[in-house]
Amino acid sequence: MQTAQPTPQLLTLKQIIGDSKKGIVALIPVSRSTFENRVKAGLYPKPVKVTERLKAWRVADIQKLVDSFAHQNNEVAA
C-alpha cells in the first residue's frame, strides 16, 4: 500500500523565480538579483536557512505574496 507523498512546505529560489534551462516555470518572474533585493527591502518574505548553503521560502509565504500580486492587479483594473 502506497502512502501519499507530503507536499513540500519549502520552495527553493529556482522553484520561485524559475529556471528555463531545467524547464521550471516561474511563480514570480523576476531575476535572482531583483528577488534578493526585494527580500532585503522587506517587500518579499525572508527565507529560512535549511543548511549552511541552502535557503528556502515557506510555501505559505510565497502563496500570500502571489495572492497579493493578484489583489493589486484587481485593484488597478477596477
59 in any annotated domain: yes
29 in any annotated domain: yes
5 in any annotated domain: no
Q: What share of the chain is helix, strand, coil (3-state, %, to 5)?
A: 40, 15, 45
37-61, pLDDT tens digit by residue?
A: 999 999 999 999 999 999 999 999 9
The total number of structural domains in the chain stands at 1
Domain that holds residue 20: 11-77
**pLDDT at residue 7 tops 80:** no
- pLDDT confidence bin for 1, thresholds 50/70/90: low
pTM, two decimals, is: 0.80
| pLDDT reported for residue 77 | 56
